[in-house]
Structure 1
Amino acid sequence: MKRFKRIGGAALNMTVLVLAMYGEASFAAVSAEEAKQLGTTLTRFGAEAGKNTDGSIPAYTGGLKKSQPAGPDQYADPYANEKPLYSVTAKNMGEYQALIGEGTKALLQRFPTYRLDVYPTHRSMAYADWFLDNTVKNATTAKLGGAVEGDKVTGAAPDGEPFQGIPFPIPKSGYEVMWNAMFHFAPPIAMLSNSSWLVDTGGSKIPLPNFFAAYMHPWSEQTGKLRKEAYNGVYGFWTTLTSPPTQAGTVFLNYYLPDSAAPSPIWIYTPGQRRVRKAPEFAYDIPMSAYAGVLFWDEPWGFVGRMDRFNMKLVGKKEMIVPYNTFGVTNQKTSDEVLGKNHINPEAVRWEKRRVWVVEATRKEGARHAYSKRVFYVEEDCWCFVGTESYDNAGKLWRVANMYQWPAYDVGGVNGDTFDFIDLQKGNYLVINTGVKDKGNYVRHHKNSDGLTVHFNPQAVAAGSVR
């Protein structure tokens, strides 16, 4: 049996011991006996049901469910009256070494103004019962497929695909955790009009293109109607750029499939060409020109696209301090209140202690990518990315990212459409989808596409352009 691993000086839990026993081999599915943990010691979605040893992470009790007033532009913070339990700074970070990632440590060391305000942990993620029922079914039927490991998820549903739920609630490999993050439960459609910014090394705030966006999680819609409209995509987005004038009218329509090796249904409309064309090149480490080229196409929301250029190693699960229930930077602040000189203002971000899956991605020999290594942090309740770390060819930490997750308590699931990337080599940072309280901005969730004027197909892309 392999030696019991440690991360950041803290011993990992029993999940890692099991992984150490079996190694990194791919499993078709877990046994029926092992799946009995779901709904007992584990929740039906695969998280640990009970509290941790000192009670700082409470037991799961079903998540946050409440109504949202009709026609909201922002979501109220249900924890607004809470005060931080403590703060982590460069001066006291030694006390919390075991609870923070290498990227967070680097930010604390580089920027004296960087700070983690740590609040009480709330397990706010709420699921629909049908999604949980399907997740339990997936545990013994879903498996990885494809010519390259991690390319495809298959299962025992009538169409040969997994049921509409988390495919691997008891994961055995890094690829399975990454796919869980792609399939995570979220509002089927989130409509946003938000602000995005690049802050340069001198602290100057440079507006990135404004856009109208529809972010789609079709497998989180029960009837399957949205899946058919969205080319069976696990995730998709429609964005129409509204500024600057040189880019206004550009439309992107992207879908990511449960078979990532299949031809990508990705389209772009540019006013200069006045035509819709397919854009399969929008992948991997190709820079996103709309975001000043400082973000790669496989980076938004933590990760999207095909994993074939990396070996995805499941390091295990550990307790970490990460952003969560982040209503400030996502809902309750203007851009001016969010943006600091070198990083997001600490007052805008809520941090909590949570259990997090750690996946280490190492570039395959002979493969091409700007990053030699990446580390992904996936929170256990939402199966969503909460942070990433990316390394250059010399093995030096290059970019650190945070994903700002918050519960969509009116429809269930989690919204993770706001994120930032800090470039430690250039000294700049960007934040996408913030400033909801800026004039004209909003966040609205929908359970399906009924009643929406946007149609999520290439025929509607040109019609959706503003010019």
Structure 2
Amino acid sequence: MKTFIQLVAAGVVTLHAAGALAAITAEEAKQLGTTLTVFGAEKAASSDGSIPEYKGGLTKGPADFVPNSGTWPDPFKNEKPIRSINAANMAQYADQLTPGVQALLKRFPEFRLDVYPTHRTMHYPQWVLDNTLKNATSANLVGKVEGDGVDGAFGGIPFPIPKSGYEVMWNAQLGYRRTQYEAKNVGAYLVDSSGGRTELPIMNVIEYKPYYDQALAGGKFKGPQDRMWLTLLTPATQAGSANLVDYSINYSETDQVSWAYFPAQRRVRMAPDYKYDTPTAAYGGALFWDEAKLFAGRMDKFNFKLIGKKEMYVPYNNYAYSQLPVDDVYGPKHIKPEALRWEKHRVWVVEATLKPDARHAYSKRVFFVDEDSWTLMEADGYGHDGKLWRVGLDYPINYYDGLGGVFISANTFYDLQKGNYFSYFTANSRGKPELRVAEKLEKPNLFTPAGMAGTGLR
């Protein structure tokens, strides 16, 4: 029987040799803006029309959208599913279902995919498209270890025509995410194998993307490309605890740096273990530090192989998910199907195999990356017994305020061994999360150990 990876390779839309480090040629770059969009997606509709032609994305919100309110109403709330896929009919769609989704369908009889019409909502402002064209012929992979860093890129997709798995993963790390977002009142829950639901710490999060800060344009971009700050609001025993994490543009020059603030000690400490497969304590060990946004951090422990591109059903345009009441989201075994929206999109497939001399809880990981937004849509993690262990799904929304970008920090992880699942960025006992974006760094002092301590006091 052919494996899923073999099937993907056989049905690939675009396949490039892995391991290439050089930028594309000027001749190759001519595809951008013609057969391909400037950011590297296929412009045309799929052969059957189920994936429409890209026409610039969604740039206007619904009538009830209030800018800067923190709430992003669902622009497709009146649409109905065009089909539902469950265990009974999944064989009919098997070629367009990931191994992780197939495993969930087989394991849970009530699990299903409510599939809606596909909308290519991702929008890029012109300055990001201009930078992407520049990056296309100047960006290179650099570092002492393959995939350790990116040079010659700023403010756009670094590799719109990727030639390796590392380039696809860097596109996912450096996709257009807006300069800053602030998420308040962010909830998460862990549901155990018996269906018991436990509320996890509620937090505030601010993410700053120096890579997309136009104030830093000009010259060679160096330093952290992503900075993440979070502080816990609950439980009372942990309220005021804070973390700050810097993700590098080149890990051979500057490694990932993390700090932790504990109110009881009233001091900031370095947190060098907040990476790779270290479990996140705040979430009961339900995910690893390198599973933030499905993957974050250095890629040195795995060999990342580009398998190709495939049309698949993935969660997409899930505006309703974070705004629904908790009881409408969480089921005893999985997220309730009616809380999610699935669409058919083209995704890049990358297989990461653990290096012989490296140690990690996973032996293999398979990633699925959306061609329009360069968002990690799914991450399947395999244990050292070769069996599928955990399935991570992201529920992205695209900003329709006219400036584009995508929010990618709402997700669910299913543990197929323990039978539990964890979901993030949902409503909670304090209400619904709020999400605001900005085009500049609004709180520069926050992204320092001293500033973090100042906000963490209680």
TM-score by length of 2: 0.94
1:12 equivalent in structure 2: 12
| Equivalent residue for 2:246, pick from 242, 255, 264 | 255
How much does 1:48 deviate? 0.3
2:73 equivalent in structure 1: 76
- Is contact 1:9–1:97 with CA below 8 Å preserved after alignment? no
Separation of aligned partners in 2, 1:38 and 1:437: 47
Q: Does 1:234 align with 2:225?
A: yes
| Equivalent residue for 1:373, pick from 328, 345, 364 | 364
| Equivalent residue for 1:50, pick from 44, 53, 65 | 44
Q: Does 1:444 align with 2:436?
A: yes
- Is contact 1:242–1:466 with CA below 8 Å preserved after alignment? no
Separation of aligned partners in 1, 2:200 and 2:456: 18
SS in 2 for 1:97: helix
List structure 1 runs of 4+ shifted beyond 3 angstroms. none
- Is contact 2:223–2:250 with CA below 8 Å preserved after alignment? no
Separation of aligned partners in 1, 2:21 and 2:310: 22
Separation of aligned partners in 2, 1:9 and 1:90: 25
The amino acid across from 1:188 in the alignment is: T
- Is contact 1:436–1:442 with CA below 8 Å preserved after alignment? no
Relative to structure 1, the CA distance from residue 240 to residue 231 in structure 2 (aligned partners, 3 Å threshold; closer, same or farther) is farther
1:159 equivalent in structure 2: none
Q: Does 1:60 align with 2:57?
A: no
| Equivalent residue for 1:102, pick from 99, 102, 105 | 99
How much does 1:456 deviate? 1.9
SS in 2 for 1:402: strand
Separation of aligned partners in 1, 2:7 and 2:439: 39
Relative to structure 1, the CA distance from residue 454 to residue 200 in structure 2 (aligned partners, 3 Å threshold; closer, same or farther) is farther
SS in 2 for 1:300: helix
Q: What do the CA deviations read for 1:431-456 (whole angstroms, capped 9, x no partner)?
A: 01112796263122222223x59722
How much does 1:408 deviate? 1.2
- Is contact 1:238–1:456 with CA below 8 Å preserved after alignment? yes
1:433 equivalent in structure 2: 425
How much does 1:164 deviate? 1.5
1:209 equivalent in structure 2: 201
SS in 2 for 1:64: coil
The amino acid across from 2:288 in the alignment is: F
SS in 1 for 2:410: strand
Separation of aligned partners in 2, 1:116 and 1:461: 41
The amino acid across from 1:11 in the alignment is: G
The amino acid across from 1:325 in the alignment is: N
How much does 1:220 deviate? 2.5
- Is contact 1:313–1:360 with CA below 8 Å preserved after alignment? yes
Relative to structure 1, the CA distance from residue 118 to residue 285 in structure 2 (aligned partners, 3 Å threshold; closer, same or farther) is same
SS in 1 for 2:291: coil
SS in 1 for 2:390: strand
Separation of aligned partners in 2, 1:47 and 1:122: 14
1:459 equivalent in structure 2: 450
Relative to structure 1, the CA distance from residue 374 to residue 65 in structure 2 (aligned partners, 3 Å threshold; closer, same or farther) is same
- Is contact 1:388–1:402 with CA below 8 Å preserved after alignment? yes
Separation of aligned partners in 2, 1:241 and 1:232: 27
The percent of aligned pairs where both chains have the same amino acid is: 48
1:158 equivalent in structure 2: none
Relative to structure 1, the CA distance from residue 135 to residue 146 in structure 2 (aligned partners, 3 Å threshold; closer, same or farther) is same
Q: Does 1:38 align with 2:29?
A: no
- Is contact 1:298–1:305 with CA below 8 Å preserved after alignment? yes
1:327 equivalent in structure 2: 319
How much does 1:362 deviate? 0.2
Q: What do the CA deviations read for 1:183-242 (whole angstroms, capped 9, x no partner)?
A: 0001222211221000011111101111111123332332228x99x9842222111101
Bigger mean CA deviation after superposition, 23-32 or 231-240: 231-240
- Is contact 1:373–1:390 with CA below 8 Å preserved after alignment? yes
Relative to structure 1, the CA distance from residue 292 to residue 236 in structure 2 (aligned partners, 3 Å threshold; closer, same or farther) is same
| Equivalent residue for 1:299, pick from 291, 300, 316 | 291
- Is contact 1:323–1:352 with CA below 8 Å preserved after alignment? yes
Q: What do the CA deviations read for 1:33-89 (whole angstroms, capped 9, x no partner)?
A: 000000000000000011110111111111111264244132111111100010100
Q: What do the CA deviations read for 1:87-109 (whole angstroms, capped 9, x no partner)?
A: 10000000000001000000000
Separation of aligned partners in 2, 1:153 and 1:453: 25
1:308 equivalent in structure 2: 300
How much does 1:364 deviate? 0.2
Separation of aligned partners in 1, 2:58 and 2:454: 38
Structure 2 unaligned spans of 5+: none
SS in 1 for 2:194: coil
1:187 equivalent in structure 2: 178
Q: Does 1:139 align with 2:152?
A: no
RMSD between aligned alpha carbons?
2.0
Separation of aligned partners in 1, 2:135 and 2:441: 26
How much does 1:308 deviate? 0.4
1:165 equivalent in structure 2: 156
- Is contact 2:145–2:300 with CA below 8 Å preserved after alignment? yes
SS in 1 for 2:167: helix
The amino acid across from 1:282 in the alignment is: Y
SS in 2 for 1:171: coil
Q: Does 1:174 align with 2:165?
A: yes
SS in 2 for 1:395: coil
SS in 1 for 2:289: coil
The amino acid across from 1:129 in the alignment is: Q
TM-score by length of 1: 0.92
| Equivalent residue for 1:346, pick from 337, 353, 356 | 337
Separation of aligned partners in 2, 1:31 and 1:70: 41
How much does 1:27 deviate? 3.0
Bigger mean CA deviation after superposition, 384-393 or 332-341: 332-341
- Is contact 2:277–2:288 with CA below 8 Å preserved after alignment? yes
Relative to structure 1, the CA distance from residue 297 to residue 36 in structure 2 (aligned partners, 3 Å threshold; closer, same or farther) is same
- Is contact 1:253–1:266 with CA below 8 Å preserved after alignment? yes
Separation of aligned partners in 2, 1:438 and 1:337: 16
Q: Does 1:118 align with 2:115?
A: yes
Relative to structure 1, the CA distance from residue 334 to residue 453 in structure 2 (aligned partners, 3 Å threshold; closer, same or farther) is farther
- Is contact 1:323–1:349 with CA below 8 Å preserved after alignment? yes
Relative to structure 1, the CA distance from residue 380 to residue 90 in structure 2 (aligned partners, 3 Å threshold; closer, same or farther) is same
The amino acid across from 2:140 in the alignment is: K
Relative to structure 1, the CA distance from residue 437 to residue 457 in structure 2 (aligned partners, 3 Å threshold; closer, same or farther) is same
Q: Does 1:407 align with 2:380?
A: no
Q: Does 1:25 align with 2:19?
A: yes
- Is contact 1:151–1:259 with CA below 8 Å preserved after alignment? yes
SS in 2 for 1:417: coil
How much does 1:466 deviate? 4.1
